[in-house]
Amino acid sequence: MNFIELLLAEKLKNKNPMLDVFGSDRKVLQIACQDLTNYLKVHWNLVGKEDNECELVEKLEKFFNENPSELEEFLDVWTGIWFGKWKERVKLLIGNENSKRWNKVTKTLNSVEPLWRRLANRQEMREVVISTLIRNGEICGTSILAENLLKIELSGNKKKYINEEERVMNVVNNALRKARELARSKGPLIFVKIDKGYYQLSQ
């Protein structure tokens, strides 16, 4: 368990005491941690820097030691906003609900995975799209949304290019435009498929 998880676990439990952040709802904690990390990277201008994860943790620990009450207040407000976004953006699909639409998206994302893995600068591409989402007010599921936007653009990008750089630029530019549109939209954007049996057990 890292420093950010420790800070956020308590806040999430305060917002929803029913959450089992160290058990069945651990994924919620992991996504919240990733989103907070992404948010702070943008806020502290660490996007695109090498070793920005280490620098982020150092800054956060310094903040924690020097202004614990201010950090506490910030995390409380941020978690409240994030949790509101989570309720709006994440939809649980139970059993085979919406399976046609779900299967189509999954098939598209899976088909482009080998090409995505071959891109040497995929981390930089993802960070640029994440920054755009955050700067436009989207703070929930930013890593998932950014990667999916890029993969969908890659899958539909059948044009011939002079070189790989030109293709990457085109994919990123299209993904950035869609990220801005997405951030302004309402309703669910992330669909989580769960087993019917699990849902009945957790009721």
Question: How does pLDDT run across 123-133, given as a tens digit for each residue?
Answer: 999 999 999 99
* Global confidence as pTM: 0.88
Domain edges within the chain: 3-92+196-202, 98-190
Give, as one character, the DSSP assignment of residue 162. Answer: S
- pLDDT one-digit tens code per residue, 72-99: 999 999 999 999 999 999 887 766 665 6
Q: What is the largest CA-CA distance in the chain?
A: 55
Cα separation values, 8 from 36, 53, 169, Å: 9, 17, 35
Q: CA-CA distance, 20 to 67, in Å (whole number)?
A: 29
The rounded distance, in Å, linking the Cα atoms of 203 and 200 is 5
Distance CA 125, CA 29 (A): 24
